[in-house]
Amino acid sequence: MTKLQVRQAIEQCNERGDKAFVPYIMAGDGGLQTLKENILFLQEAGTTAIEVGIPFSDPVADGEVIQQAGERALAEGITLRKVINELASFKEEVTVPLVIMTYLNPVLSYGLQAIAADCEKSGVYGLIVPDLPLEESDLLKDALKNSEVALIQLVSLTSPAERIQAIAQAAEGFIYAVTVNGITGVRDSFTEGLEGHLQRLKAASSVPVLAGFGISTPEHVQSLGALADGVIVGSAIVTALHKGDFASVRTLIDASKNQVTSI
């Protein structure tokens, strides 16, 4: 299997002169019925792909905004299985690749082979599992090998060169370049050396590199997008959707358009 759905969507976006824009949403924040309306709105607004977060009781990568959204979703009884079933119910209306962000425990509870099969049936073409290290990723990668579902790897700012190389070699879909040391959340500034870090990732990787964590303004989208193949925006999107502030979401997405080719 080529696992090209997400990668091709990003590459086609770059070929048009745009940077990829991948919003993160918390599935079930506001009830399961909001999932379809949010995905179809983001699709219409011009996103490249959509990262669908699954609420989890013990998240390790989520900042306050996403944790609170997860708590609201958990209070609605949202589970990984319910989300995948809901996505399957309107798959024919979705034209952008979906990527699920979850943790290893729900994946194991669901069943490795079952989640591989059900993701494909639901229009999910990528999985992000932040608590699954590269060294232990074969158990999930083996389950996904006969599917079109890519296992997305994360790279931190502190990853040494040899680890970056190993992750780049294993990468499918895109590399998720974490742009801060710490958890998700809105930030005013980014670490010195980030530009060099992203350059090294792009040089090592045969798949696109997307920058994520802390990106929350149109200026961030433009400045970080200029250093990568695109951006992932989480907390700002979650907050705006929770408030019904769709204009702010459109403004963030529009900031990714008509950018010069990344370095």
> Which one is catalytic: 29, 62, 86, 118?
62
Torsion sign over Cα 247, 252, 255, 261? negative
Is residue 71 among the annotated active site residues? no
**Of residues 260, 261, 250, the one with CA closest to residue 23:** 250
> Which one is catalytic: 51, 86, 172, 229?
51
**Cα distances (Å, whole numbers) of residue 194 to 179, 200, 201, 206, 230:** 7, 10, 11, 20, 15
Residue 123: other Cβ atoms inside 10 A: 21
Extended strands (E) in the chain? 20-26, 50-53, 98-101, 124-128, 150-155, 175-178, 209-212, 230-233
Is residue 62 among the annotated active site residues? yes
Could you give the residue numbers annotated as active site? Answer: 51, 62
